[in-house]
Chains A and B, each alone.
Chain A
Amino acid sequence: MNTDPGSDWERPVTTDGDIAVVNLESARRRSWSKFIQDPRRHGIAEAIVENERLTAQLVGDISALDRLESLARQLSQINAESARTALIQAQVASMTHRFTEARRFLAGAEQDRAPLEEVSRIRLNIDQACGVDLDGALSARREIATKSGRLEDLVALGALLADLREFADADRIYRQALREYRDVSPFPVAWVCFQLGMLWAELVPRPQADQAAQWYRRAIDCLPRYTKARIHLAEIYASSGRTSDAEALLLPALESGDPEARWRLADALISQGRQADAEGHLHAARVAFEALLERHLLAFADHGAEFYAGSGNNSRRALELARLNVANRPTLRAYEQAHDIAFNSGDREAASEVLAEARIRWGKAAAFASSPLDKRFSEEREGAVA
């Protein structure tokens, strides 16, 4: 694995992130306007989905999810029976992690003869997000990436390899995606840099904070309004005592409406001894998380669990959300999160239950051997024997 992120990197020449965001917003609004003019128009609902997806993911505007749900609702009122409506509904349900509904819509789309390639693509996304048949998903992802060579297909393959704990391969594929990118939009480059940051900060068994920070900085360099990259980089800064740097990163991210920005800012302020300043942000984060969970419970269950396990200071709510997340998408990471929360809150019984479930579902997978759950299982077994 190439552990030096600087060895093959210089700032790529892409459109300035500010310009790209202005243009994305302009295209997003225009696509809605055209939809209102003629909702049946070929490709217009699909354009909205892509614009809103970019807005949610890369600009951190969470209200994009509300708009997408409104789109799906409007389409169902206009043309409930069409395969196209079902495909859009499936995509929107998948983006908000309502995977059971997404599968139902997808089955409907298939029945109405939606293009098979599109159905398979969405189904593969859902399988991967839910940790279902990952070996099958891997061969499908490899085939698609080899055939198309497109950045989005390479990144999806990299993400799957990371889920399977094949970190060296994931790193290689992400870098390949960067090398082979042939356009000037900053969004894809920022996205891959962010994925590499996640890989080094949160996925590898021994996190490499410096490497991860480099990649997050690059993501922000390409796209200054990349809210999630700011939040993740701020976490690294805060954990290494650079709380003022964390604060400076997070302040511009507050306008996105992502409650995690307020939460991390509160943490940074608390570390600086500014408890009073932090209180307001923490309260606002709690209110915003609950509002989000009310609207998109499954999409934010894992984020909410992380908040309540931390400064949100409500371990019962944290565990409730983490277990909800496991039930919705029983990935190894979801089990790890639920187990950590249960264990750290002293709920040994719940921790054992989660561990047992995880072992039943993932015990035979190669990835389990590199999971902390495997070690925990051995410890429990040894404890029981002793």
Chain B
Amino acid sequence: MSDHIDGPRQIGDPAADLTDLFAFTSPENPSRTVLTACLFPSAGADAMFSNAVSCSIVVRRASVAGLGDAAQFRTGDQEIRFTCRFDLLERAPGAKPVQRGTFTLPDGQTLRVVVNDKNGASTPDGIFRIFAGLRSDPFYLAWLFANMRPIPNLLEHDNVLCIVIEFDTRRALDTDKGSLFGVIAETIPLAPTSPVGPLPLRLDWVGRPEQTNMRLNYGPGIEDIRDLWNQQTPFAIASEHRGMFLQRLKESFAHWDMRDNKQDWTPSALDANARVFLDDYLLFDVAKPITDTSHLEIEKSTINGRTYETGGGRTVDSNVIDILVTWLVNRDREFLRGGATRATKPGTTVFPYFAEPNMELQDIAESVDLDAAPDRVWTLIGQFDPSWHPLVASVRMIGSGIGQLRIIETIDGKQIVERLEAADNSHRSYSYSNISGLPVSSYIGALEVNPRGSGSSVTWRSQFLPNDQPDIVVKAIVTTLFKTGLASLKSRLGDSR
């Protein structure tokens, strides 16, 4: 039978979608450099690399070609290219599928790696070491830009697929010829000319963070030119499009400058900033310190007419969004801090430097529809004090506002301690974390009351990782807690059914 037009609209392959690029000094050994590309936004626990795409990290020598309002960087023509591609899954009965990849190094050597093997693989001479696999997403974004409001990290608990390349800096980059470099990452279809039609030369590429989503596509209602940008050749934006992209960046930067209603950028400095960001590669200098705060320092100092002092680059824990927003909005007059100061998990000091992936959280969501109006329900249950719950024998509250603790004695003699994380009376909702008393970690719960017809609907949700006990047991404990509480509301406030 016909299935009409219920077809896919999400046609891109997320495993070809680059999310981030990093360049930093190895925390294990300062004579080594680490380059990393991340793919697959919000990858789930079983995500694998595409076998139809190669991912390359490409380095070119860079130099400062002008200071102040004449700020500009130049890159050389020679590429130092690291390329990896991945095989089909290998399946064995009863085991998780295995994937292997092949890295081609700048000198033509190839190196095989098993995906998700945290030890990675090294060349016999130890110059190169590689890793490929799922890791906790080190990126964090904690702003609502529509009104410049700090919010919790939008990428909390996310994972990404990472390609990590570590190498002996002097031998791989020949630093006698200079220490400043620009780096990009790109995903390329394996068959640029497909039998069903010519595939593009490149599916995606990335230099500095947020070139497309924040700088080129800075607000609603403007023409989306991100696809055209992604089709450009890194280090060589097409001359016929340069003017258009430059103009967009100038408009974008003028827009960002006024987000705090103060003009911090002179027109000439803003032009220089746009020119520098138009050449989109991540700058890093291996002769200077690359730290968590050195991201964009090379660009910023050069635009400010000074010699840069750090190695720029981007470490795993760089707060890149706040650094970028501060620069664009107030030219570093006052640091703008979003609602989070770190990713779900910080980077580590041992190879591959990106934290283990976040495990899949267990979800519980229960709800009940009630006759009573939302405000009446909220008056009863909205104060973080759970005395209304029939399984609660007594409660002791400590403190007030965000951070308030509730110490609950249950009727079977257990003690549960929970902390208020956020409260929004206008939406009749609060969220909390569990400190102790439940066999869980990373527990976040949320309770909210919404209007439903002339009555209301109460939803109680939580996410957590079970600790020490099987998933099913922990889910049963939490579900019972929720269901018993919500059922008690029916008898007190009327079941809408």
Name A's B-contacting residues (CB within 8 A): 9-16, 18-20, 22-23, 25-34, 36-37, 41, 47, 50-51, 53-54, 56-58, 74, 76-81, 95, 125, 128-129, 150-152, 155-156, 159-160, 163, 178-185, 187-189, 191, 198, 202-203, 228, 302-303, 306, 333
Contacts and interface: CB of A to CB of B under 8 A. Distances in A.
B10 A19 contact: no
Interface in B230-271: none
Given A13-B52, A19-B88, A155 B459 contact: no
Contacts of A95: 6
Contacts of B88: 16, 18-19
Given A79-B450, A191-B7, A184 B97 contact: no
7 contacts: A15-B52, A50-B10, A57-B3, A156-B7, A159-B2, A184-B53, A189-B196
B45 interface: yes
Contacts of A189: 196
Interface residues of B, number: 64
A7 B154 CA distance: 49
Contacts of B162: none
Contacts of A125: 4-6
B199 interface: yes
A28 B360 CA distance: 12
Given A19-B48, A53-B6, A184-B199, A37 B450 contact: no
Contact of B44 (A27, A74, A155): A27
Contacts of B448: 78
A188 to B, nearest CB: 5
Contact of B50 (A151, A184, A198, A333): A184
A18 B200 CA distance: 24
Contact of B195 (A9, A56, A150, A306): A9
B195 A333 contact: no
B195 A184 contact: no
Given A15-B15, A184-B203, A26 B46 contact: yes
Contacts, number: 197
B200 A182 contact: yes
B451 to A, nearest CB: 7
Nearest to A76: B452
A176 to B, nearest CB: 9
Given A23-B40, A184-B16, A12 B4 contact: no
Contact of A22 (B46, B197, B461): B46
B473 interface: no
B8 interface: yes
A19 B177 CA distance: 43
Given A57-B8, A151-B11, A182-B200, A12 B42 contact: no
A376 to B, nearest CB: 20
Contacts of A11: 195
A302 B1 CA distance: 7
A26 B44 contact: yes
B471 to A, nearest CB: 14
A153 B91 CA distance: 36
Interface in B5-63: 5-16, 40, 42-53
A23 B190 contact: no
B399 to A, nearest CB: 25
Contact of A32 (B7, B11, B13, B363): B363
A184 B13 contact: yes
B2 A333 contact: yes
A129 B3 CA distance: 9
Given A77-B459, A185-B13, A15 B51 contact: yes
Contacts of A80: 450-452
- Of B12, B44, B157, B190, which is in contact with the most chain A CB atoms at under 10 Å from its CB? B44
